[in-house]
């Protein structure tokens, strides 16, 4: 994890050092849009903090920084009113929000995949059992269909089994 701080305020190096020390991460600084875009071309960051005065004076520059920042958490802070302690709190809160959102997204994705898998397994089981119940199914085909039905049934049982972490069926 690394952080980019974009501001023209003097003493930003002291602020960056305080942030680095409190968050235990690398903090780089850029004095304006050109420097920020140059740094962002070379490296990815977890968080990009832009001084509100830069964003308000040149919205196009701020938009270019946000666009180049890609997946970094964008933060806009008024450095004239905020000290390093507030900046650290804001960064921590943003990182916590991102972690929480990612956990929710993973849970939703897992639920969607499991739902699709359950539907597919139910379809396999139903179709294989219907094929087995048909008349005039050659014995070798019936044996293979029975294997497919057994595998689908086993997979269904595994999907319905309580998971290890919560004692609830997977899903």
What average pLDDT does range 79-87 have in this prediction? 86
> 72: closest CA among 93, 98, 34?
98
What average pLDDT does range 138-166 have in this prediction? 84
Residue 133 reports pLDDT greater than 50: yes
**Residue 113 corresponds to which tokens in the numbers above?**
């995949």
Please give the model's pTM, rounded to 2 decimal places: 0.71
The pLDDT score that the predictor gives to residue 135 is 85
Q: What is the pLDDT of residues 39-56, one digit of tens each?
A: 999 999 999 999 998 889
Q: Place 171 in a pLDDT band, splitting at 50, 70 and 90.
A: very low
List of residues 6+ apart from 120 with CB closer than 8 A: none
Sheet with 73-77: strands ordered across: 26-30, 2-6, 47-51, 73-77
Residue 162 reports pLDDT greater than 60: yes
The pLDDT score that the predictor gives to residue 168 is 53
Task: Give me the CATH topology for the region 2-82.
Answer: Rossmann fold (3.40.50)
């Amino acid at each position: 994890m690394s952080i980019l701080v974009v501001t023209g305020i003097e003493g930003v190096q002291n602020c960056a050092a305080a942030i680095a020390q409190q968050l235990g991460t690398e903090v780089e600084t850029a004095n304006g849009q050109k420097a920020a875009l140059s740094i962002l071309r070379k490296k990815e960051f977890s968080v990009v903090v832009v001084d509100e005065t830069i964003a308000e004076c040149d919205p196009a520059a701020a938009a270019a920084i946000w666009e180049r920042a890609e997946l970094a958490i964008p933060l806009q802070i008024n450095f004239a009113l905020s000290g390093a302690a507030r900046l650290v709190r804001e960064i921590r809160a943003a990182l916590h929000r991102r972690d929480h959102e990612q956990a929710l997204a993973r849970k939703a994705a897992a639920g969607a995949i499991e739902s699709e898998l359950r539907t597919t397994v139910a379809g396999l089981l139903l179709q294989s059992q219907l094929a087995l119940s048909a008349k005039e199914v050659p014995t070798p085909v019936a044996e293979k269909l029975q294997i497919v039905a057994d595998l689908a049934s086993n997979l269904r049982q595994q999907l319905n089994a309580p998971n290890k972490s919560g004692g609830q069926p997977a899903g």
